[in-house]
Amino acid sequence: MKIKLKSFRAEPDRKLKLKHHETCLPPLYDSDEEYEKLLGDSIGELSELQNLLYAHGRYSLLLIFQAMDAAGKDSAIKHVMSGVNPQGCQVYSFKQPSAEDLAHDFLWRTTRCLPERGRIGIFNRSYYEEVLIVRVHPEILQKEPLPAELFEDEDLWKGRYRSIRDFEAHLVRNGTRVLKFYLHLSKTEQKKRFLARLGSPDKNWKFSRADLVERKLWDEYMDAYEKAIEETSTEEAPWYVVPADDKKNARLIISAAIIDTLKSLDMDYPTLSAARKAEYAEIKKQLEK
């Protein structure tokens, strides 16, 4: 299966209207059995590429997941990365910032969690919250201990977008590849998933009354996502707008984008010098005795 990733990629320097992007596509699979095979093949290929990334040790990969509630971020991470060696992968979920976080610039708390060379880092939500939820809820911004003149600066958001672009460009220049996924869920599908959570005792814990508060601000969030994505999707750190009403489709698209990026890197397994090969040959002889 060959997925046309370009159709999901937000082009740099272009206006973005999420209403023009589908939240649901025809299945990329003909049956559940075919889906399992396609995902299994992707997981196997991703596992091999992750081993190569770890052995090569000169690149790292940062995956960022953003979405409205119930879009399937957790399940996408769980299924797509299920074959990856845990020693070579780190997952961080960013919630409400602490007092220590707020005492620093908005990139500080996530910068500390960046993946080392040879590893894959996954951010379940990220520094993008500072131009999403904070933009939708200006009262949060007022609580941040910023210089007073910044609150009157109309270019505050443009400054944050620029900081993000510069930060991600810096990461790429130093060997970290950055992929960003916005799981594009419809409001109708979100309602359906909320009702499923309320109707299943084993899923009740996933629901919060705050989810309804945020749902009422749907249009404001769509506007914030549009601005964030169009301002920060670049050639070196692209955004993918992934249709998320069908979780299986979303997982296949996400895995294809990750594999495509890893395959684009110039990586090789380390080669042994002649002296090291001779040393290993001698050790092998000793072990065989």
What are the residue ranges spanned by the domains of the chain?
Answer: 5-288
Rounded CA-CA distance 117/160 in Å is 26
pLDDT above 70: percentage of residues in the chain: 100
pLDDT tens digit string along 121-177? 999 999 999 999 999 999 999 889 999 888 777 789 999 999 999 999 999 999 999
Report the chain's mean pLDDT, rounded to a whole number.
94
Rounded CA-CA distance 48/46 in Å is 5
- DSSP string covering 48-83, please? HHHHHHHHH-S-EEEEEEEESTTS-HHHHHHHHTTT
Rounded CA-CA distance 40/248 in Å is 12
pLDDT tens digit string along 71-122? 999 999 999 999 999 889 999 999 999 999 999 999 999 999 999 999 999 9
DSSP 10: P
Structure tokens at 87: 């020693």
pLDDT tens digit string along 25-52? 999 999 999 999 999 999 999 999 999 9
Q: In the prediction, which pLDDT does 183 show?
A: 98
Q: In the prediction, which pLDDT does 203 show?
A: 76
Q: Which CATH architecture has domain 5-288?
A: 3-Layer(aba) Sandwich (3.40)
pLDDT bin (cut points 50, 70, 90) of residue 54 is very high
